[in-house]
Amino acid sequence: MRVLVIEDDRELAEAIGMGLRRASMAVDVANDGSSGLQCALVNDYDVVLLDRDLPGLHGDKVCAEIVAQGARSRVLMLTAAATIDDRVDGLGRGADDYLAKPFAFAELLARVHALARRAQPALPPILVCGDLRVDTCERRAWRGEEPLTLGPKEFGVLELLLGARGRVISAEELLARVWDEEADPFTTTVKVTMSRLRRKLGDPPVIETVPQSGYRI
C-alpha cells in the first residue's frame, strides 16, 4: 500500500510517516499544497492524508483537484477544525473521510486501511493461496502452521501478489506500490527483496517469474 501525507507540520508529518512505514506501507511526505498536489497527480497512491489548513494552496483546492483529475486515491482530510459544518464542508469537496486533530494513531491507521480497501477491488482481510495465508489487518503471514517473519517490503510484495489473484505484477508496479519516491528505479531492489521473500516462503515455491513480464502467485 502506498500513502501520501500532505502536512505542513513537519514533525507531525514525519511522525505519521514513521508510524505508517512500521505498518508496512510505502509513504511519501509533502509539506505544502503545491508539491503535495503534484505528487498526488504523478504517482499512484491508495490513500492521501491531506491537512486541510495548508499554507499557499489550501487543502480544499488540493482535494478538489485530485477528484477533478480522476485519481483513484482516497482522501482522508485532517484538520484542527472539528465542527459538524467543517466536516460536512470537507466531505462535500470530495474527501472520502475526515479526522479531527488531535487524533489517536490507531484510529488513523484503521481509517487508512478502510480507505485503501475502497481504492481497489475489495479483497478479504485474510488472503489464502494453498497453504499460504496472509492477514492484511494484523500484518501477519503463515506457510502451513509456521509463522513467517517478513520485513515491511517483503510483506508488501507478498500482499500485492496475493491480492492480484494470479495476475502478473511487473517489477515497475511493485516498485510503485510497495516502495516510495526515494526508491531508485534502476536498482535491483525488487529482485533482492523477491529473493529474500522466496527464501522465507520455502518449498515448494509459490512465486513464479514470468520472463519479461514480472511475477505472480
Query: Tell me, what's the pLDDT at 8?
Result: 92
Query: Tell me, what's the pLDDT at 125?
Result: 74
Question: Which pLDDT band, with edges at 50, 70 and 90, does 87 fall under?
Answer: low
In the predicted model, what is the mean pLDDT of residues 50-61? 88
End-to-end Cα separation, the chain, in angstroms: 18
Regarding the domain delimited by 2-118, which CATH topology (the fold level of the hierarchy) does it fall under?
Rossmann fold (3.40.50)
Contact 41, 69 (CB under 8 A): yes
Query: Tell me, what's the pLDDT at 82?
Result: 59
- Which amino acid is residue 95, in one-letter code? A
Query: Tell me, what's the pLDDT at 20?
Result: 92
Give the bridge partners for 4, in sequence order.
28, 48
Give the single-character DSSP code of 169. B
Regarding the domain delimited by 126-216, which CATH topology (the fold level of the hierarchy) does it fall under?
Arc Repressor Mutant, subunit A (1.10.10)
Question: Which pLDDT band, with edges at 50, 70 and 90, does 179 fall under?
Answer: confident
Q: What are the boundaries of each domain within the chain?
A: 2-118, 126-216
Contact 36, 60 (CB under 8 A): no
Question: For the chain, what percent of residues have pLDDT higher than 90?
Answer: 39
Contact 104, 16 (CB under 8 A): no
Of residues 88 and 107, more confidently modeled: 107
Question: Which pLDDT band, with edges at 50, 70 and 90, does 139 fall under?
Answer: confident
Question: Which pLDDT band, with edges at 50, 70 and 90, does 60 fall under?
Answer: confident
Compute CA distances 83 → 6, 18, 40, 87, 208, whole Å: 22, 29, 27, 6, 52
Q: Do domains 2-118 and 126-216 have the same CATH topology?
A: no
Query: Tell me, what's the pLDDT at 34?
Result: 92
Q: pLDDT per residue over 6-15, tens digit each?
A: 999 999 999 9
